[in-house]
């Protein structure tokens, strides 16, 4: 008989807000907005007090201020948030057998079999208390037999609480909830289901799976199974060493600095696009240079989590300027982004305006449709090819596989 699974989902409550309040207790209880502070800024995160005014992440800052004039607005510091994220990650990884970090503030853990030695509910509560005690940050969790139900349970437990869904209770637990609670249901799917008159998960539970598949394609079957409280997907052990990289070996060794910089800019932009397409962020850049005598040098830099060209390209060029010191012919250059987590562009909203966000989205749509070299910066125009790409150190291209997780 197969072992029944026990899956824990942990999520730091209003993570960016909680970090700011940890550093300044005067912010406690006040409506707080984090993001671009100018009129063209965007809300990256907001406190529960601000949400009561209808404010949400991604809203233009000017609109948020109009809805809640008394709100405190903070620009935010991605380096500080990254530091606290790493601290929580270390605690969780040390405590559980299998840990999957899905974003800067969200984790899954497979506790299957641990109830022979510990009560999983008690153990999860102790882990939550340890995170709060050692970091000062509030965290909620959900516990069930699969990832979907545990994630939904965490959402229902918030703020700063926990919820366990017993085996056999998954379906009735999900039934009264809105369909947006199902993790795979985004805005487009939500509107399609709303147009069919579907508002509650209970309705999906009663629909024939064939109808869901006819309306939504293959994802319809997956959503239907999730609505039943079924999710066989495993907790995937992740390491922040997971990486995406690309390198280029030149037909003829070169010292043409303009050409080398153009190639590196093209590489950095292309990898940044791959990150955004896979809803990922990087916290580490590694640059590689191989000279004509096969002497190979690498240089690495830790950075705040990001997926933005305007952050990654300058840092890549800075590493090249520091690394390239022999003035010898170059045979190969390469760029690798590592320490990857989910999270999309949220971490880059602190100092962005709507124009830049819209520009990234428009460029990425064109790249998706016509190819990833459809749009490039002027500095990289000479780079007709950027070499072979190695998504995640030779493993399957998880950026795309994990796109909707």
Q: Report, as residue numbers or ranges, the catalytic residues.
A: 106
Long-range contacts of 230-237 (CB under 8 A, 24+ apart): 230/146, 230/148, 230/170, 231/146, 231/147, 231/148, 231/149, 232/146, 233/146, 233/147, 234/110, 235/7, 235/98, 235/99, 235/100, 235/108, 235/109, 235/110, 235/147, 236/100, 237/98, 237/99, 237/100
Taking alpha carbons only, the member of 284, 323, 324, 282 closest to residue 301 is 284
- Phi/psi at 9 (5° precision): -120, 125
- Phi/psi at 44 (5° precision): -85, -35
| Beta strand residue intervals within 176-329, DSSP E | 243-254, 280-291, 296-306
DSSP 220-255: HHHHHHHHTT---PPPPP--TT-EEEEEEEEEEEE-
């Amino acid at each position: 008989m197969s072992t029944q699974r026990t899956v824990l989902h942990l999520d730091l409550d209003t993570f960016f807000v909680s970090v700011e309040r940890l550093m300044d207790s005067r912010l406690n209880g006040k409506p707080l907005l984090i993001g671009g502070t100018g009129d063209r800024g965007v809300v990256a995160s907001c406190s529960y007090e601000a949400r009561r005014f209808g404010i949400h992440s991604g809203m233009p800052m000017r609109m948020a201020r109009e809805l809640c004039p008394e709100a405190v607005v903070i620009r935010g510091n991605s380096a500080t948030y990254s530091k606290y994220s790493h601290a929580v990650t270390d605690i969780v990884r040390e405590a559980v057998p299998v840990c999957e970090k899905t974003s800067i503030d969200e984790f899954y853990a497979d506790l299957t079999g641990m109830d022979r030695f510990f009560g999983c509910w008690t153990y999860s509560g102790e882990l939550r208390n340890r995170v709060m005690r050692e970091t000062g940050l509030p965290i909620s969790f959900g516990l069930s037999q699969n990832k979907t139900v545990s994630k939904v349970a965490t959402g229902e437990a918030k703020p700063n609480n926990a919820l366990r869904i017993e085996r056999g209770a998954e379906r009735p637990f999900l039934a009264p909830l809105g369909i947006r609670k199902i993790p795979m249901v985004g805005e487009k799917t939500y509107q399609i289901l709303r147009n069919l008159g579907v508002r509650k998960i209970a309705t999906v539970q009663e629909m024939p799976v064939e109808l869901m598949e006819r309306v939504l394609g293959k994802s319809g079957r997956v959503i239907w199974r999730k609505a039943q409280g079924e999710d066989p997907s495993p907790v995937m052990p992740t390491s922040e060493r997971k990486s995406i990289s690309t390198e280029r070996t030149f037909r003829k060794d070169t010292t043409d600095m303009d050409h080398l910089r153009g190639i590196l800019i093209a590489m950095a932009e292309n990898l940044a696009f791959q990150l955004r397409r896979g809803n990922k962020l990087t916290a580490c850049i590694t640059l590689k240079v191989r000279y004509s005598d096969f002497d190979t040098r690498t240089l690495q830099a830790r950075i705040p989590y990001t997926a933005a060209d305007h952050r990654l390209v300058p840092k890549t060029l800075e590493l090249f300027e520091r690394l390239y010191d022999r003035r010898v012919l170059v045979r190969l250059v390469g760029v690798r982004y590592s320490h990857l987590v989910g999270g999309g562009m949220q971490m880059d909203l602190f100092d962005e305006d709507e124009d830049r966000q819209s520009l990234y989205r428009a460029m990425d749509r064109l790249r998706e449709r016509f190819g990833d070299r459809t749009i490039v910066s002027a500095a990289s125009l000479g780079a007709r090819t950027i070499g072979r790409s190695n998504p995640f150190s030779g493993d399957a291209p998880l950026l795309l596989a994990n796109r909707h997780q």
